[in-house]
């Protein structure tokens, strides 16, 4: 399986990192080794001094497709959750300055937290609130209605380049409010009123 991520999908977040808002989705991938195993702690990696959390709605692809048209895109996933796209911001900034790919800043081991999946039919996907709590305080919150590219557009566009397969995950971008995690932080991910993950940073 693969993990497809979209960058700069919330304008307030693009602004906070001084990025321009792209016309087309900016995609990047994480390998399956990026997934943090369930109930494991996240260990701060030695190669970075500034790991950021990015809380994002995650879609789980339920059937294979290529060149999916936007009007059918919502048939390609049944379940959603919240995830974290952990990012080595210091590495990413250096790589971006040089015009190099960000891979090592985004796709490293355990950089993808994936919560417990929920049936998408329970929710209004156009008005889906989510949040990340850090040490019992809300650190980041968002709503799917703030996305620049909606789920249909993301799936449709991604499938022009990457054949989607059952079990693939799509991280749909982070809202404003990203920040650093430190040792002993406790993170909880929520979609509406459901807690979907709880992890400790070590
Ligand atoms: Zn992200």
For residue 160, the domain's CATH number is 3.90.850.10
91's enclosing H/E stretch is helix 89-98
8 Å CB contact between 104 and 88? yes
DSSP lists the bridge partners of residue 141 as: 131
Instruction: Measure 181 CA to ligand 1 centroid, in angstroms.
Output: 15
Domain count, the chain: 1
Instruction: Measure 57 CA to ligand 1 centroid, in angstroms.
Output: 10
How do beta strands 87-88 and 77-85 pair? unpaired
What are 152's two structure tokens?
A: 């249909």
8 Å CB contact between 141 and 30? no
**pLDDT at residue 14 is higher than 80:** no
High-pLDDT (> 70) share of the chain, %? 100
Instruction: Measure 56 CA to ligand 1 centroid, in angstroms.
Output: 7
Instruction: Measure 65 CA to ligand 1 centroid, in angstroms.
Output: 23
Tens of pLDDT along 83-126?
Answer: 999 999 999 999 999 999 999 999 999 999 999 999 999 999 99
Q: What's the pTM?
A: 0.96
Instruction: Measure 172 CA to ligand 1 centroid, in angstroms.
Output: 7
Instruction: Measure 194 CA to ligand 1 centroid, in angstroms.
Output: 21
Instruction: Measure 153 CA to ligand 1 centroid, in angstroms.
Output: 17
8 Å CB contact between 194 and 80? no
- Residue 132 to residue 137: CA distance in whole angstroms: 8
Instruction: Measure 142 CA to ligand 1 centroid, in angstroms.
Output: 13
Instruction: Measure 122 CA to ligand 1 centroid, in angstroms.
Output: 25
- Residue 168 to residue 179: CA distance in whole angstroms: 27
8 Å CB contact between 140 and 179? yes
**pLDDT at residue 11 is higher than 90:** no
Instruction: Measure 7 CA to ligand 1 centroid, in angstroms.
Output: 6
Tens of pLDDT along 135-189?
Answer: 999 999 999 999 999 999 999 999 999 999 999 999 999 999 999 999 999 999 9
- pLDDT at position 55 is 98
Instruction: Measure 6 CA to ligand 1 centroid, in angstroms.
Output: 6
Overall average pLDDT of the 39-62 stretch: 97
Q: Which residue has the tokens 């919502």?
A: 74
Domain that holds residue 30: 3-200
Instruction: Measure 80 CA to ligand 1 centroid, in angstroms.
Output: 16
139's enclosing H/E stretch is strand 137-143
- Residue 144 to residue 148: CA distance in whole angstroms: 9
What DSSP state is assigned to residue 42? B
8 Å CB contact between 45 and 181? no
- Residue 40 to residue 105: CA distance in whole angstroms: 21
């Amino acid at each position: 399986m693969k993990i497809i991520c979209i960058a700069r999908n919330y304008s307030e977040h693009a602004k906070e990192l001084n990025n321009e808002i792209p016309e087309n989705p900016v995609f990047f991938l994480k390998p399956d080794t990026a997934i943090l195993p369930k109930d494991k702690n996240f260990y701060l990696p030695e190669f970075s001094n500034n790991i950021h959390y990015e809380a994002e709605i995650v879609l789980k692809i339920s059937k294979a497709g290529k060149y999916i048209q936007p009007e059918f895109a919502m048939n390609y996933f049944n379940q959603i959750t919240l995830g974290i796209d952990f990012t080595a911001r210091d590495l990413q900034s250096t790589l971006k300055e040089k015009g190099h790919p960000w891979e090592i800043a985004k796709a490293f081991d355990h950089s993808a937290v994936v919560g417990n999946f929920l049936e998408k039919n329970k929710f209004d996907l156009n008005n889906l609130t989510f949040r990340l709590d850090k040490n019992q305080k809300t650190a980041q919150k968002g709503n799917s209605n703030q996305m620049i590219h909606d789920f249909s557009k993301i799936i449709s566009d991604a499938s022009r380049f990457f054949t989607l397969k059952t079990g693939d995950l799509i991280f749909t971008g982070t809202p404003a409010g990203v920040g650093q995690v430190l040792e002993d932080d406790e993170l909880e991910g929520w979609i509406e009123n459901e807690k979907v993950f709880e992890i400790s940073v070590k």
